[in-house]
Structure 1
Amino acid sequence: MATILRKIAEQLLSRTMFSDLAIDRARDAAVDTIGCMIAGRGDESVAALIRAFDGEIAGGGAARLVTGGSASPSFAALINATAAHALDFDDNFHPARAHASAVLVPALLAVLTRGKATSGRRFLEAYLAGLEAQAAVGFGVNPSHYNRGWHATATVGSIGAAAGVARLFGADENGLAAAMSLATSFACGPKGQFGTTAKPLHAGIAARNAVDAARMALAGMSGRPDILERPQGFLDLFGGDDARGWDGLTFEAEHIIESRGVVTKRHPCCASTHRAIDALLDLKQEHGLLAGDIARIETKVGISAARNLAYPAPTDEMQARFSMQYCLATAFLKGSLSLSDFTRQEIGRPEIREFMPRIEMRSYSADEEKGVERLPHVVTVTMRDGRILNKSRLHAKGSLEAPMSVREREVKFIDCLRWGNRNVSGASFLQLRGLANSENLSGDDPFWSLITGHQSP
């Protein structure tokens, strides 16, 4: 009987044709992630990595860095993926419970070294392979794995991204399975680190692990092909109490990005806040709500979301991204959230601090969540005149069910450029959207000047 990793590898190799829709959505995810990389390149998490590995970076390397300069593919993946996830503005992928693109895109970019070119379409096909692998791995363990406290970006993301990198390298079934098996040995990342700089580091580590695992596999290193399902394997150790395993795993003709999509973030903060933010903004618009008229706001969210949002009174910008109270108060008072709302100065604003105590959060019970993949997040606003207003959101803005327009994507991308101290122009957005048509994508490609702000040396 074929192991799960071999079943995934066989599927990835059998999918030789991709629809225009799948390619377009992969392109959108890649462009969005590159924008997040640019915005996050000055974050303290990235600066710490640059300081830690200054000697290795000073020596140069074949792979480009979003911060400028170059390093080895491993270090490039580590730094660029940490930048992509640093501001928590990168997309979510529900089947994996992971920030899929923040791992995949930097990992794939890292192996596009100088002198090693590929086409833009092949790059996007490798992205789609890695995404499908992440979904398949996540199928067997989530949501139990995520609810147990594992950051699936660092675990499931690492394993699936290794398949994407190996696919870009042209690996056969054995190579793909070996890359994923080795990445399983690297997989780690506790959600207890949320609200610290270790959280974006998880994406960086996962991307580096993916690159290293794929390169090792192609060099002849191997692990057990049944490491997901065997005793003392991934399911056994990481699955949690309610993991279902892979007995029911099937692959549809339609790619997972067509049927489920990735969720592009509208707000630069933890996705656990997004549906509540959208619901509150809906109520504000529908009823013309004013802050002085509100007595209390209650939110009801999933158990894992409540655990993620551990900072009711944040003291820095990273904690603020994981605070339902701060995110809801700021979104309501300002009408939207942008990257500029997450600074030390902004989080201390008196009007926001005054409003935050009116916001309460509770979660569904374990019984309510049992057997249900997804429950809506509910916002209840109690007015000072006694009226009670309710709004629920099953899907956040940016999801397949509530997609962002091209213009909204461009606005986000420009916000990222501005935050990354780059020349603010829609031309970069349009040029990157032509990624699928590039015939010679490599570390020397002019598109890197869009990312780094420097010409290729």
Structure 2
Amino acid sequence: MATILRKIAEQILSRTTFSRLAMDRARDAVVDTIGCMIAGRGDESVAALARAFNGEIAGSGEARLVTGGSASPSLAALINATAAHALDFDDNFHPARAHASAVLVPALLAVLTSGRAKSGRRFLEAYLAGLEAQAAVGFGVNPSHYNRGWHATATVGSIGAAAGVAQLLGADEKSLAAAMSLATSFACGPKGQFGTTAKPLHAGIAARNAVDAARMALAGISGRLDILERPQGFLDLFGGDEAKGWDGLTFEEQHIIESRGVVTKRHPCCASTHRAIDALLDLKQEHGLLTGDIAGIETKVGISAARNLAYPNPADEMQARFSMQYCLATAFLKGSLSLSDFTRQEIERPEIREFMPRIEMQSYSADEEKGVERLPHVVTVTMRDGRILNKSRLHAKGSLEAPMSVHEREVKFIDCLHWGNRNGSGASFLQLRHLAYIENLTSDNAFWNLISDGD
């Protein structure tokens, strides 16, 4: 019987055509990720990587850096993916429980070297291959794997991205499966690092591992192809107590991006806060709520979300992204959240600090979550006049069920460019939306000047 990795590899290589919908959604995810990558290029986590590897960054490397200059494909993937995830504004992908695109897009960009001409359409097809692989790997271990404390971006994301990179490099079924096997040996990343600069680094490490695993596999290195399901393999060691394995894994004719989509972030903070933020903003609009009218706000979220949000009194901007209290208070007071709300100066604003103690968070019980893939996040507002208002959200804005418009995507993209000190305009956004029609992405200077420091 074929191993799980062979089954995934066979599926990826057998899917030779993609619907217009799948290609459009892949393009949207890539454009959004490039925006986040540019926005995050000045973050301290990225600056620290540049200092750490200063001697390996030059103007004549194989792969371009979002920070300027170039480096080896491995180092470019590490730095660019860390930038993509640095501000926690990049998308989520529920089947993998991962920040799928922050790993995939920089990894694929890193291997678009001058000697391997690839079209924009080919790039998007490789993205879709990596996304489907991430979903398939995640199928067997999530949500147990994620709830156990593993950051699936660094584990599931790395394994799936290795498949996408290998596919872009022209791997056959054997090499593609070998790439995923090797990436399994690289997989790591504890969620206990959330709220530190190690968290965005997880995406960088995953992208670097995906690039390295694919290149090693194509050079002839291999691992066990049953490493996901065998004793002492990925499921056994990483799955958690309730992981179901891959016995029920099937592939539909419809691509996973069509049936599940990726969740484009509306707010630049941990996704565990997003449904509560959306619910509170809904209540504010529906009832005309004012700060002085509110006695208290209580949120009920999933167990993993509560564990992710470990900073009720954040000390810096990174912790603030993982603070339900800060994110809800700021969103309510300002009516929205933007990148400018996550700076050292902003998080100490007196009106926000005064409002935060009124916000509490609890989680569902293990019994309530058992056997349920997704429960709504609930916000309960207690008014000073005794009224109690409730709102629940099963899906955040930016999901397939509550999509962002093209205009909203453009506004976010331009905001990202401005935050990254780049000249941003609707023309840049429109240029990237034509990605599928670029015949030779490798040598398209306009494309690379937008991504790298080509001002």
Task: Give the equivalent residue in structure 1 for 2:300.
Answer: 300
- For residue 318 of structure 1, report the CA deviation from its aligned partner: 0.1
Gaps of 5+ in 1: none
Cα distance in 2, alignment partners of residues 378 and 448 from structure 1: 43
Check the 8 A contact 2:59/2:69 in 1, yes or no. no
Cα shift at 1:115: 3.5
Q: Is the 8 A contact 2:166 2:175 kept in 1?
A: yes
In structure 1, the partner of 2:36 is: 36
Deviation at 1:445, TM superposition (A): 3.3
Report how far residue 70 of structure 1 moved: 0.2
SS of 1:361's partner is: strand
Asked if the contact 1:154/1:205 (under 8 Å) is kept, the reply is: yes
Following superposition, the deviation at residue 196 of structure 1 comes to 0.2
Offset, 1:446? 2.1
Give the SS at the match of 1:124. helix
User: Structure 1 residue 45 and structure 2 residue 45: aligned?
Assistant: yes
Preserved CA contact (<8 Å) 1:116 1:443: no
Residue 114 of structure 1, CA deviation:
2.3
Aligned residues of 2:8 and 2:136 also touching (Cα < 8 A): yes
- Distance in 2 (CA, whole Å) between partners of 1:205 and 1:114 is 24
Deviations 1:359-402 (A, max 9, x none): 00000000000000000000000000000000000000000000
Q: CA deviation at 1:88?
A: 0.1
Conserved? CA contact 2:178–2:225, under 8 Å: yes
Asked if structure 2 preserves the Cα contact closer than 8 Å seen for 1:326 and 1:352, the reply is yes
Is the CA contact 1:115–1:443 (under 8 Å) kept in the aligned structure 2? no
Q: CA RMSD in A?
A: 1.0
Question: Do 1:66 and 1:80's aligned partners in 2 also have CA atoms closer than 8 Å?
Answer: yes
- What is the CA deviation profile of residues 289-313 of structure 1, one whole-angstrom value per residue up to 9, with x for unaligned ones? 0000000000000000000000000
Distance 1:345 1:443, change over 3 A: farther
- CA distance in structure 1 between the partners assigned to 2:321 and 2:204 by the alignment: 19
The alpha-carbon distance between structure 1 residues 195 and 443, as it changes in their structure 2 partners (threshold 3 A), is farther
**Any conservation in 2 of the 1:141–1:239 contact (CA below 8 Å)?**
yes
Cα distance in structure 2, aligned partners of 1:114 and 1:349 = 49
What percent of counterpart residues are identical?
A: 90
1:328 aligns with 2:338: no
Which segment drifts farther, 435-444 or 219-228?
435-444
Structure 1 residue 113: deviation in Å?
Answer: 1.3
Inter-partner Cα distance in structure 1 for 2:96 and 2:225: 20
Cα deviation, residue 444, structure 1? 5.2
Q: Deviations over 1:35-91 (max 9, x none)?
A: 000000000000000000000113741100000100000000000000000000000
Q: Does the 8 Å contact 2:299/2:378 carry over to 1?
A: yes
User: For the Cα contact (< 8 Å) 2:77–2:106, is it kept in 1?
Assistant: yes
Check conservation: 1:115, 1:444, Cα contact below 8 A: no
Q: Which residue of 2 aligns with 1:234?
A: 234
Residue 456 of structure 1, CA deviation: 6.6
In structure 2, stretches of 5+ residues that fail to align are none
Tell whether the 8 Å contact from 1:12 to 1:129 is kept in structure 2 after alignment.
yes
Instruction: Provide the rounded CA distance (Å) in 1 between the counterparts of 2:336 and 2:113.
Output: 39
Could you tell me whether the CA contact under 8 Å between 1:268 and 1:339 is conserved in 2? yes
The 1:456–1:344 alpha-carbon spacing in structure 2 relative to 1, beyond 3 Å, is closer
| TM-score normalised over the length of structure 2 | 0.99
- Contact 1:34/1:451, CA 8 A, preserved across alignment: yes
Measured against aligned partners, the alpha-carbon deviations of 1:125-144 in whole angstroms (never above 9, x if no partner) come to: 00000000000000000000
CA distance in 2: counterparts of 1:456 and 1:418, whole angstroms? 15
- SS of 1:41 mapped into structure 2: helix
Q: Is the 8 A contact 2:35 2:416 kept in 1?
A: yes
User: Is the contact made by 1:63 and 1:70 (CA closer than 8 Å) also made in structure 2?
Assistant: yes
- Displacement, 1:451? 1.4
- Tell whether the 8 Å contact from 2:91 to 2:264 is kept in structure 1 after alignment: yes
CA distance in 2, matches of 1:216, 1:276: 43
Contact 1:329 1:356 in 2 (8 A): yes
Q: Verify the 8 A CA contact 1:300 1:377 in the aligned structure 2.
A: yes
Regions of 4+ moved over 4 Å: none
For residues 349 and 240 of structure 1, what CA distance do their matches in structure 2 show? 41
Aligned to 2:104: 104
Please state how far the C-alpha of 1:425 moved relative to its aligned partner. Answer: 1.1
SS in structure 1 at match of 2:442: coil
Contact 1:62 1:443 in 2 (8 A): no
* Superposition deviation, residue 215 in structure 1: 0.2
TM-score, normalising length from structure 1? Answer: 0.99
Show CA shifts across 1:177-218 (max 9, x none). Answer: 000000000000000000000000000000000000000000
SS in 2 for 1:199: helix
